[in-house]
Structure 1
Amino acid sequence: MSLEENPDLTGEVELEPEPSILVTPLAPYITPPPPPIKEESDENMAAASKELATNSDVKDKPATTSEDGIFSIMYTICKKVAIVGSIYLVGRMGWSVAWLIAPVIFSVARDQFRKTTEHKRNIAKASALANEKDVILARIDELPAWVYFPDVERCEWVNKILKQVWPNANHYARTLVKETIEPNVAAALAYRKINGFRFDRIILGTIPPRIGGVKVYDKNVDRNEIIMDLDLFYASDCDINFYISGVKGGIKDFQIHGWVRVVMKPLIRSMPLVGGLQIFFLNNPNIDFNLVGALDFMDMPGLSDLLRRIIVEQIGAVMVLPNKLAIAMSDEVPATTLKMPQPEGVLRIHVVEAKNLMKKDIGVLGKGKSDPYALINVGAQEFKTQIIENNVNPKWDYWCETAVLVNATLKQEICFRIWDSDQGNEDDFLGRATVEVANIVKRGVLDTWLTLEDAKHGLLHIRVQWYSLTSDPADLKLALQETQLLRVTSMSTALVTVFIDSAKNLKQARSNSRPDPYLVCSVGKHKEQTAMIMRDDSPVWEQGFTFLVANPENDTLQIKIFDQKTGSEIGQFAYILGALLTKKNMEIESQPFQLQKSGPESKIIMSLALRILKYANPVEENDVNEIGIGTTPPAATPAATNTNITRSSSVKSTTPESISNKDLQSQASRTSMDTPIIEEDNTLKVSSTSSSISPSPPRTPYSAALAAGEAVLTHRMPDTTSTAGEYGLGRIQLSIRYSVQRQRLVVTIHKIMHIPLDDPSNIPDPYVKLYLLPGRSKESKRKTSVVKDNCNPVYDATFEYLISTAELMQTELEVTVCTQKGFLKGGSPIIGMLKLSLNEAEISGNGVNSWFDLVPEMKHD
């Protein structure tokens, strides 16, 4: 076996990679496959072990200083004094033995946790040192991405370049951490009442990042850009020290793993041929680290989560979508091209409900229920539903929206995580599910049940709709109509992009020194803040933000500039967004505006662009790739069929917006064949057992936008009826409609007429009860008010049910008319009732408004 010298400055000797040779850095942790030739393998193992021992001795010897030595001695002395002193105080004060047992249990648990995590970190560090082929032969979990994905290419040559340039990256990383990460982490900790955070020493170590594979996109990509994804894995031997409230701590073995996207744009005709770079994570990366120093006691589950969460947030604020790290490479490219956000569309997410979640709370007789809530992550953005207490079948009905930037639909995911809320303790994990944004963009809308992963059981019902962006002001009217019909106040109709370029001649009224300015811009309740520029009265920020707007005709962009040194406001400006509707292409570029509360020459230079949300028509089902998620809805009864499942997962069949003219014609012909017998007063008759609702002949909806929202009644039955029904018990007027977008069944009880009056001295006090069958649960019970002494009561009461399309196919509506009189006298309080089978195809759109005959009481099953 030949050995070749490594050309780097360390003079290390590495073995020539062969399939039969053991991985040198992984030897202490991984059991390799048996070598074919024992003699040669023994020699190589001896050499590898000797080299590993040499390298470990060199790398494990820190550059100690006299200050670190004194601190280590003082720390050891204080630790011993604390142990002896605690035992002395327990005996002196007569405390319970629990004061001794609790710290012991705490220490043992921490040690066990650290052993497990340290073993994982050592394996990750060793795999980062090994070459690509050795990692594969070692059969570890962190294999390169090209092993799993056929469209990802090998890039070992990139790792060799990173190894060569890595020693020079420490200075850049220190500057980035000190100027960007440190103030943000300090502010986040100060918000949690932890002050005095600062970095003391930042050394990245000798282990460079490793690229497990690269994918270059060549389809559906603009000719003026290059897009590539890198599988980044960084397991460092870093040495980072910091202070929190005067206490010194440190971070060792920092690890990060995730997909990094690199966008080279625009391509230019002069060197370096690429105008700039945009670097960002598509989703939050996986992060792990080891706390050392005086904060070593925090390194166990629950205690270290706070610091870990803050670090993830700060990395997300810099490099996780919608945030990007933009690097200009040519003066020919303006800053707006690289740094101004370029949204491609908006995702409207509806977390409807969950079924059959795990029970995590401990009750008197064993495990009780859970208090579930859901977290929705799209890149660095996170949304949280309300907490539903003591329920494993929660109905959240939670809505949120997020903008998706250009080039982000490829590989970006929406992550749903379900948690059980435990006040005072760490929340329990109930499962997760992911959906690729690209599939939603292709479909236009996704309405499905997701099977929860990392859980024994559980299903999650979501509905996600994709909206493209248009610069036509005429589309605003339809967008406003749709949000009004949706009846959700937090939904948006437009999106505005703001690029803050710079400010000039900022002045303070009572100070001649230069300010430390930062800018806060807001639309409604959403606020964004720029970085702080030290001692500059003409700061250049070059930062862009995106705001979702409820109504651009009424909303205003508020801008305020503050001096961080004094905390005073040194400038403000307000822009009415409705003015953009009259601009060309609804945008302005690099325009100066006069600031108020500042000098007469103070100005702010910014760019604005307004876009209207427009529903994107879904493509045909044949053109949509299959989604790797569960679409099986929970069956309300064993009678659930495959037809119901298909209707639930098929976008085209459950979305009024996607119904074509051909579908309407076929539905019209089907309805005409199934139309029930119509009486003279244009009402529907109901059988004595169960009936299917059939509307009057199909009507053309107002527009696609109206059909996408809540159903609108365009045809009403007569307000009166001349008969008391087939059974002489009276007739009830109902309106029933189903909104596919809101997943809502809306039932309106208008009035009842001709209730029989057997005894003129005993006039009924009628009211109406509603139940959804099967089940007749308390959750589905609805009840009107009681109308005293009336045989023709008017209610006009509306009730809503949150129910999926698949469940609707298996559900019946039970309507019962009762009276409060006669119950204590032994008489039946039920005047009449009826059951209606619900059909989504018939009650969607304009819904049904009709008179129904009350039938005699039917016994419950």
Structure 2
Amino acid sequence: MRILYLDSSEICFPTVPGSPGAWDVDSESPQRGSSVDAPPRPCHTTPDSQFGTEHVLRIHVLEAQDLIAKDRFLGGLVKGKSDPYVKLKLAGRSFRSHVVREDLNPRWNEVFEVIVTSVPGQELEVEVFDKDLDKDDFLGRCKVSLTTVLNSGFLDEWLTLEDVPSGRLHLRLERLTPRPTAAELEEVLQVNSLIQTQKSAELAAALLSVYMERAEDLPLRKGTKPPNPYATLTVGDTSHKTKTVSQTSAPVWDESASFLIRKPHIESLELQVRGEGTGLLGSLSLPLSELLVADQLCLDRWFTLSSGQGQVLLRAQLGILVSQHSGVEAHSHSYSHSSSSLSEEPELWGGPPHITSSAPELRQRLTHVDSPLEAPAGPLGQVKLTVWYYSEERKLVSIVHGCRALRQNGRDPPDPYVSLLLLPDKNRGTKRKTSQKKRTLSPEFNERFEWELPLDEALRRKLDVSVKSNSSFMSRERELLGKVQLDLAETDLSQGVARWYDLMDDNDKGSS
């Protein structure tokens, strides 16, 4: 029996490979309206309605109060404290905070992220324990309905710990919904770097959703037997393995997986098609940068495997994760020089003009990396810094972004690094130092440093920033390329603006 398919723009018909008009897997132009003996070959995937509907839940484990004391000394006669940590369970994932030693009012300030769906009835389970050498002691538990957070988008509450006499836990939960546009990506990356805590993993900037539908024309085993194929999808250290389909060179998997993406510009999706007992059948590497320039950040088509034989039909879509409660507020801003030693850059316009802030004390103005309106560098060059006070962690934070137009004193460019010191202290306790870059007048560092101290004490300090270079390979002497001193009492520590500062010599240290 022969079947005649009428004209359709949604159906691709297979042809004999190598014959005139054979279908090109990279072509978007299907053949139309021909009489064939085989079923049609789809041009695009057909995932179910739930594909791509995931959210990311960002969980801030902030602090606790009035925890019970479990540690005792002298046979229980002396009551001590506890060494608390937090365990989280949600959507089949488990997380654990670091341990705070001997504190009944601990501060963790850790952030965890988990991919979630809108399936009703899910709960975030939280337990607090006291770390011991043998068995950890229970300090309380609480639960949060996931539906409540997904519906409201944000929750910041003190939760009473259950099954214990006292104790409460401060959590902040935020739903991040992926957006199919790259317009706000640079803003998201900069916000993530500013709110990143040292004890937490790097925050996700995007969510990658992949639907693996099928493959065709996979190589046969020993030339005649069809394989038992399965596929593995990998991004970074996270992998998903599909089911194995028995004895076919055209498997249909109909499976999806999602991945948290931290650096979309440089990460990639790695796909391998393997056969049970036969090894690798073909592979594919898809840089996520290709998704960033695709329409709706999505590619949905056939891809040729690197083996040269076989194709896979998949859909890969990226969604940017924009936080509405990061403590960041973007302001409209006209360019101006606040002083001759400082050039301030105009901010990004990738997102809405105002972002609702749950932490008014931390308001960042986000800036371009380069701007045609920048002031020219001074004779010794410039250093780019972000300095602000993070009230939630009670820390002074500085990011050393880089330098430009540094002075070259010898035949070769310097090997620069940046040293930071909180004056009037000159001891090692407040000294911080970046890594060293080799032979460059415009080094990039992007390194973050922190000092734990109250805000009123920070305002009494000066931040001494020195750009130095090794005098020679064998020498311990350091050559000063330039420096600047920031009087923190005269610096707006609530803004966190990235600024270029002119470097001065040791006699004239400059200011902002």
TM range (shorter): 0.5 to 0.7
Match in the other structure for 1:612 = 320
For the aligned residues, what is the CA RMSD? 4.4
Over 3 Å counting, the alpha-carbon distance change for 1:611 and 1:736 in structure 2 is closer
Over 3 Å counting, the alpha-carbon distance change for 1:438 and 1:704 in structure 2 is farther
Identify the structure with the greater strand proportion: 2
Q: Which amino acid aligns with 1:482?
A: V
CA–CA separation in structure 2 for the residues paired with 1:550 and 1:541: 27
Question: Offset of 1:347 from its aligned partner?
Answer: 1.9
**Residue 746 (1) aligns with residue 358 (2):** no
- Identity among equivalent pairs (%): 27
CA–CA separation in structure 1 for the residues paired with 2:51 and 2:153: 26
Question: Offset of 1:783 from its aligned partner?
Answer: 4.1
1:337 to 48, 54, 63: 48
Match in the other structure for 1:492 = 204
Question: Offset of 1:511 from its aligned partner?
Answer: 7.2
Over 3 Å counting, the alpha-carbon distance change for 1:602 and 1:418 in structure 2 is same
Over 3 Å counting, the alpha-carbon distance change for 1:352 and 1:554 in structure 2 is same
Match in the other structure for 2:67 = 357
2:495 to 838, 842, 845: 845
The answer to whether the Cα contact below 8 Å between 1:353 and 1:393 also exists between their aligned partners in 2 is yes
Match in the other structure for 2:284 = 573
1:67-86 alignment, distance < 5 Å: none
**Residue 603 (1) aligns with residue 311 (2):** yes
1:554 to 266, 276, 284: 266
Over 3 Å counting, the alpha-carbon distance change for 1:736 and 1:524 in structure 2 is closer
Residues 405-447 of structure 1: CA deviation (Å, up to 9, x unaligned):
3x44x6543222222344554x432212223344445654433
Question: Offset of 1:751 from its aligned partner?
Answer: 6.4
Identify the structure with the greater helix proportion: 1
CA–CA separation in structure 2 for the residues paired with 1:501 and 1:577: 19
The answer to whether the Cα contact below 8 Å between 2:269 and 2:286 also exists between their aligned partners in 1 is yes
**Residue 416 (1) aligns with residue 66 (2):** no
CA–CA separation in structure 1 for the residues paired with 2:101 and 2:223: 55
The answer to whether the Cα contact below 8 Å between 2:68 and 2:82 also exists between their aligned partners in 1 is yes
2:169 to 460, 470, 490: 460
**Residue 583 (1) aligns with residue 294 (2):** yes
Q: How many residues matched?
A: 351
Q: Which amino acid aligns with 2:425?
A: Y
1:464-475 alignment, distance < 5 Å: 464-475=173-184
Over 3 Å counting, the alpha-carbon distance change for 1:711 and 1:744 in structure 2 is farther
Q: Where do 5+ consecutive residues of structure 1 fail to align?
A: 1-333, 618-653, 662-680, 682-699, 715-734, 753-765, 770-781, 787-796, 803-807, 818-837, 850-861
Question: Offset of 1:338 from its aligned partner?
Answer: 4.6
Question: Offset of 1:614 from its aligned partner?
Answer: 1.9
1:784 to 425, 430, 455: 430
1:425-574 alignment, distance < 5 Å: 425=135, 427-441=136-150, 444-487=153-196, 490-507=202-219, 513-565=225-277, 568-574=279-285
Q: Where do 5+ consecutive residues of structure 2 fail to align?
A: 1-44, 333-338, 340-345, 368-385, 399-419, 433-447, 462-488, 500-512
Question: Offset of 1:737 from its aligned partner?
Answer: 3.7
Over 3 Å counting, the alpha-carbon distance change for 1:660 and 1:554 in structure 2 is closer
CA–CA separation in structure 2 for the residues paired with 1:601 and 1:559: 15
Question: Offset of 1:335 from its aligned partner?
Answer: 5.2
Residues 323-374 of structure 1: CA deviation (Å, up to 9, x unaligned):
xxxxxxxxxxx8512563422x322212123233233345434254444322
Q: Which amino acid aligns with 1:538?
A: A
Structure ranking higher on relative contact order (CA contacts 8 Å, 6+ apart): 2
1:718-757 alignment, distance < 5 Å: 737-739=388-390, 743-746=393-396
Match in the other structure for 1:59 = none
Residues 678-735 of structure 1: CA deviation (Å, up to 9, x unaligned):
xxx9xxxxxxxxxxxxxxxxxx987656988774699xxxxxxxxxxxxxxxxxxxx9
Match in the other structure for 1:593 = 303
The answer to whether the Cα contact below 8 Å between 1:481 and 1:706 also exists between their aligned partners in 2 is no
**Residue 397 (1) aligns with residue 109 (2):** yes
CA–CA separation in structure 2 for the residues paired with 1:401 and 1:342: 16
Over 3 Å counting, the alpha-carbon distance change for 1:546 and 1:768 in structure 2 is same
**Residue 767 (1) aligns with residue 477 (2):** no
SS in structure 2 at match of 1:336: coil
Match in the other structure for 2:96 = 384
Question: Offset of 1:390 from its aligned partner?
Answer: 4.4
Residues 779-813 of structure 1: CA deviation (Å, up to 9, x unaligned):
xxx94369xxxxxxxxxx964349xxxxx8xx854
- Provide the TM-score with structure 1 as the length reference: 0.36
The answer to whether the Cα contact below 8 Å between 1:592 and 1:606 also exists between their aligned partners in 2 is yes
Question: Offset of 1:656 from its aligned partner?
Answer: 5.1
Q: Which amino acid aligns with 2:430?
A: T
CA–CA separation in structure 1 for the residues paired with 2:324 and 2:422: 40
Over 3 Å counting, the alpha-carbon distance change for 1:435 and 1:505 in structure 2 is same
Question: Offset of 1:549 from its aligned partner?
Answer: 0.9
CA–CA separation in structure 1 for the residues paired with 2:395 and 2:347: 19
The answer to whether the Cα contact below 8 Å between 2:208 and 2:316 also exists between their aligned partners in 1 is yes
The answer to whether the Cα contact below 8 Å between 1:388 and 1:396 also exists between their aligned partners in 2 is yes
- Provide the TM-score with structure 2 as the length reference: 0.57
